[in-house]
Amino acid sequence: MKRLCSICARGGSKGVVGKNLREVDGKPLLAYSIEQAQKSGLFDAIAFSSDSDDILNAARDAGVKYLIKRPAELATDTAAKIPVIRHCAEEAEKMSGIRFDTFVDLDCTSPLRDVQDIINAVEMLEAGGCDNVITGMPARRSPYFNLVELKDGFVELSKKLDLPVVRRQDAPQCYDLNASIYVWNRESFFHSQSLFTGKTKIYVMPEERSLDIDTQFDFEIVTSLLRKKNEAR
């Protein structure tokens, strides 16, 4: 079983400018995901994709061998994530000469994951019975109870059941995706047109390991938690 880990980071982030290179407790944010991939011991290759030479140089400094320059059309504000990961994987196969069976993508902006989370998500996929595995945490809001949407100018519950839910605890379990770990088998990775295939499983992580950096506020919270995590080691 051959496994590839891809890590993708665009240079033109808007929500938090330059976030992937910003130092957190003495090292750039992107280094955390690289180190977690290395420490897992799972991967035959780790590849890093970016349109930014500065980011690729930082990835090289962190020990990544396969550096993939992302084409301009995959580095726009509207570029979808999966084509970027596929491009990285295709280039990594050419560079390494390895035909991978399992593909794992780690998001730089979700550095609070544990190494064991990566191992567990891969084991869930390779145990069989699914095409891919995504990660998430128990949702803080339920579409059956306290999540609403606008319809014709008025709000209503996003999802309704025949019998109304009067307690959040009685609602069907829902999850917030945390953009931390994505795992695919080869067939699904190269041929599925959607992240959700009908045979997609979720690996559930706790909230304290599920924060994703989209804003400056997120960055400050994650920075604080990473420092505490490092101090506890």
DSSP conformational letter for 12: T
- What is the C-alpha to C-alpha distance for residues 33 and 101, in angstroms, rounded to an integer? 21
| Domain around 154 | 140-173
**Looking at the structure, do residues 152 and 219 belong to the same domain, yes or no?**
no
* 232 domain-assigned: no
Mean pLDDT of 142-157: 94
10 Å CB burial of residue 154 (0-12, 13-18, 19+) is: exposed
> The CATH number of the domain where 51 resides is what?
3.90.550.10
Q: Alpha helices of 103-215 — where are they, by DSSP H?
A: 115-126, 186-191
Average pLDDT value for the chain: 94
- Residue 149, CB half-sphere, CA atoms under 13 Å: how many? 7
In a shared domain, residues 149 and 187: no
Q: How far apart are CA 20 and CA 188, in angstroms?
A: 28
Q: Are residues 25 and 102 in the same domain?
A: yes
Tokens of 55: 């980011």
Q: Please report the pLDDT score of residue 16 as a whole number.
A: 83
The token pair at 167 is: 């307690």
Instruction: State the total domains in the chain.
Output: 2
What are the tens digits of pLDDT across the range 99-120? 999 999 999 999 999 999 999 9
The answer to whether residue 7 is domain-embedded is yes
**Integer CA distances (angstroms), 201 to 80, 175, 177, in order:** 21, 12, 12
Q: In terms of domains, do 129 and 80 share one?
A: yes
Q: Bridge-partner residues for 105, per DSSP?
A: 6, 182
Q: How many residues does the chain have?
A: 233
Domain check: are 77 and 190 in the same one? Answer: yes
Same domain, 46 and 153: no
